[in-house]
Amino acid sequence: MYRAQQALGARFKEDAGWRVADVYTSTDDEAARARTGVGLSDVSAWGKLGVRGEAIEPLVVKLTGRAAPAVGLASWAPVNGARALLCRRAADELLLLTAPRELSIVADVLEKTIEGAGCVHATDLTAAFAAIDVMGAGLGPLLERLVALDLSAVPMLGVVQGELARVRVIMVRLDRPTLPAYRVLVPREYGDFVWKALGDAGHDLGLTAVGAAAHGRLMTEA
């Protein structure tokens, strides 16, 4: 996806060791286009920690002080001053997503919490998945063209596993009050293909690439 973003004129910044597309045109322009059309933002720099085992639920309580989300749902939780999105993929499988600068904090606490927690283990999947946030008024029509699943009944913070453009993906619904949004996690070797597939499918829906500056504004406003 990096080369595709270069071709779109992205200006990059460093974020926790990653080169991240910060701005394509301007923050104001990208945010406005995403609200009225569809915005596409590369968030692959986010940390991704996979946890598997029978002791998922007691582990989450020890890690966050809160109960684990139900299967098919996600929840935000504090982890030693950091913040993680806990995505429950199955009864014995959890995916933790963290901001790039907080990955080391969450990974360290997770490693210490797992000791003595029972049958459970963790794997750093940060480099295994590309991640794309798709957002905006045209999100529904765009996903209808690429996803065979019926997404109309997916609740806020719902976790969906299926195919997008015939690639197996994990999708997390991350709507804001005035902005529909999904995070799409795709095996890294298909990241460029999925990025381009979304771009091709959304060309008539006002799709625009959104840099980290505009993405941060969109995800925190309202």
Q: What CATH code is carried by the domain that includes residue 181?
A: 3.30.1360.120
CB atoms under 10 Å from CB of 216, counted, come to 15
Shared domain check, 137 and 107: no
Query: Distance (Å, rounded) from C-alpha 148 to C-alpha 158?
Result: 17
E-strand spans in the chain?
11-15, 18-23, 38-42, 47-53, 74-79, 82-90, 93-98, 120-124, 129-135, 159-164, 167-173, 181-187, 207-209
What backbone torsions phi and psi does residue 215 show, to the nearest 5 degrees?
-60, -45
pLDDT 10s digits, 152-193? 899 999 999 999 999 999 999 999 888 999 999 999 999 999
Among 102, 124, 146, the domain-final residue is 124
Rounded to two decimals, the pTM is 0.95
**Shared domain check, 61 and 32:** no
Number of domains in the chain: 2
What is the band of 222 on the pLDDT scale with cuts at 50, 70, 90?
A: low
State the average pLDDT over residues 7-21: 96
Do 155 and 118 share a structural domain?
A: no
pLDDT at 47: 98
Q: Are residues 41 and 147 in the same domain?
A: yes
Q: What is the CATH number of the domain that holds 112?
A: 3.30.70.1400
> Is residue 100 domain-shared with residue 150, that is, in the same domain?
no
Same domain, 88 and 14: no
Q: 210: domain range?
A: 2-45+127-220
Which pLDDT score is estimated for 178?
A: 86
Domain boundary residue, one of 124, 154, 188 = 124
